[in-house]
Chains A and B, each alone.
Chain A
């Protein structure tokens, strides 16, 4: 356990900030202008402040990883496009989410959709009602996707096993 804020910060900087920088050095270009927050449709109705998130990351505060804010972004990429420094805030948020999931910070609802993906190969799998609609439209009852090919689902399981996805999101 860290014994001081200083230590907590430096530990965080080594882990989170280093990983973020290794993926996108652009993060360091952020000058805290706030164009991201001003552009954010989610932040207009929630506590999400992308500028503040960027600031916290740059200062090495690791509490961003288990904050709800991280999951309020719809990844609309408006801040990404408008950032005058090309600091790529949406990519930073997605990278932070990857780290959060690896550290076990994941919402139950997201674990549920991840399980659906692992079990069926679709985030939104077929149901009986839609099977009937498909038939009425002259389409095959099951689409020609992984739903129709059990061996394809096996392939997917192989990939998810190799990347550790099911374990990570379980």
Chain B
């Protein structure tokens, strides 16, 4: 057992951080959220292609299919960095769609659309040429993100998985005024996937994609949770009151310490879940990472005082994105029920 990052994994994470610092610096983020609502809603296609070229969506695609051929742990590290930088866009859905290019036989074609066309979409996702968002038909309550910018919608039914042209979903969808200025959201009406049939829900491909989506979302939450610790600590060192840095006050120190405890606890389960891919581990990862992202953002806001309540500070962007992600994929109630079921389903289970 060696539960530490390998040198290659560290290098991958550093490379991703460097790329995002260069291509999506804070000024870009601010341009997205401070721009007019219309333009802010649009995804930066050039950046998307660059992310594709850098291999963000292809990390898990086999080398034979033009990918990088790595695993879930590497994808988790990359998505952690994306979360840290508050990179907007349907990253998870596009990554999952890219993975489908190699799995196409297992998924099968969608009636009324050519297999070639769908494979093309998936291949485009690998390169960052196509933007794919997601719709969890079973969950049904999470709004669809970035629908207007998307080319296709990855629709997950109880069992089946489909890629639907985005326009088809958009015509029956209603835009929301999204709480997160960098994540446009649409409400959709009831949609049924075309090919759904009864089957082994937990072992099917839809179930697998759902778990991977939950984990990659948790990874972004982890990145955000770690970033808000840094923001709070930086501020606590610089801001002076009563003649000393506020970070010298124990009330502030203890807020920061608890933030670190939350971030590190969720890191340990997110990384472990990436290695084991166990449904229980993934549920724990999503639950704790959601909690860490939301609560750390709130504590970070507190440490920033009045400044924290302004549009100008980035803290609210972390909090709002954390809310959006917490509502996506396996949300708290579902994760807790999954974990509770795990407690009684086994007589003697390993930790």
**A and B found bound together:** no
Chain A positions within 8 Å of B, measured between CB atoms, are none
Chain B positions within 8 Å of A, measured between CB atoms, are none
